[in-house]
Amino acid sequence: ACARLLQAHGCVPDYVAGLSIGAYPAAVICDALAFDDAVRLVALRGELMQSAWPQGYGMTAVIGLDQTQIEALIGQVHGPSSPVFLANINADNQMVISGSSEAMRQVGQLAKAAGAAAIKRLAVSVPSHCALLQAPAQQLAEAFSRVELKTPKVRYLSGSTARPVLNAEKLRDDLAFNMCRVIDWRSTVETAYERGVRLHIELPPGAVLTGLARKVFQQGTALAFQAARLDSLVALSREEGRRSP
């Protein structure tokens, strides 16, 4: 709704992107996925994810270590009886892991010993963005095969590959399987910046991604819709539009 409000005021984005489930509204904004279909698919996505791993799993944020360090710690713990994976790369020193509760606890202990600033178990019970969700992702892909998608009218950046998705079939794959793929949000934001984008607007709810974007947009502006005036957003958007990345 906030995106449509901006569009109604003549603000046309050069790129759209969404972290995890945010990819669905991004696809709607670029007129590639119908709103009604998005709502139905998001509901199915949640049901499939929850039923696959109803308890004993989840996600944990690790702050203060880089990707190489986290992957090394995961390598010490991961196994058939202790699955744990890198799930989100949010910033240079902000990662999220997914897996069994016990495996994540072990990685957390190793991370603390390695100098991590914080370990925080997230309030989710599903191990998103890892191989544990391959089967439900395949089921979701089957549902997607019966839905019409169109070529994005606005450049859509995949949160998994950090690259533009140029046609409907690749978008279908990106949306269906993003639940079982690592989210590289750091690289996604960097790609937008490298391609000339200098205005980053985070749509509600929240402003967490704005803080992450400001680390990249050192010669630009990153702000959250809910913390800014509409007229200011419109003015900034029009100014950015005149530059055309």
CATH code for the domain in which residue 24 is found: 3.40.366.10
Residue range of the domain that includes 177: 2-50+132-241
Least confident among 38-42, 143-147, 170-174, 225-229: 225-229
pLDDT of residue 245: 47
String of DSSP letters for 103-155? HHHHHHHHHHHTT-SEEEE-S--S--SSGGGHHHHHHHHHHHTTS-----SSE
Same domain, 108 and 140: no
pLDDT of residue 244: 58
- Of 20, 82, 101, 125, the catalytic one is 20
Same domain, 45 and 65: no
Among 77, 99, 125, the domain boundary falls at 125
Distance between the two ends of the chain, CA-based, in angstroms? Answer: 25
- Of 78, 100, 128, 129, the catalytic one is 129
Kind of pairing, strands 155-157 and 15-17? parallel
List C-alpha distances in Å: 18 to 28, 159, 160, 200, 227.
Answer: 11, 6, 10, 12, 19
Average pLDDT over residues 211-240: 91
Is the pTM here over 0.85, yes or no?
Answer: yes
pLDDT band at 238, cuts 50/70/90? confident
129 catalytic residue (yes or no): yes
Same domain, 137 and 224: yes
Same domain, 31 and 90: no
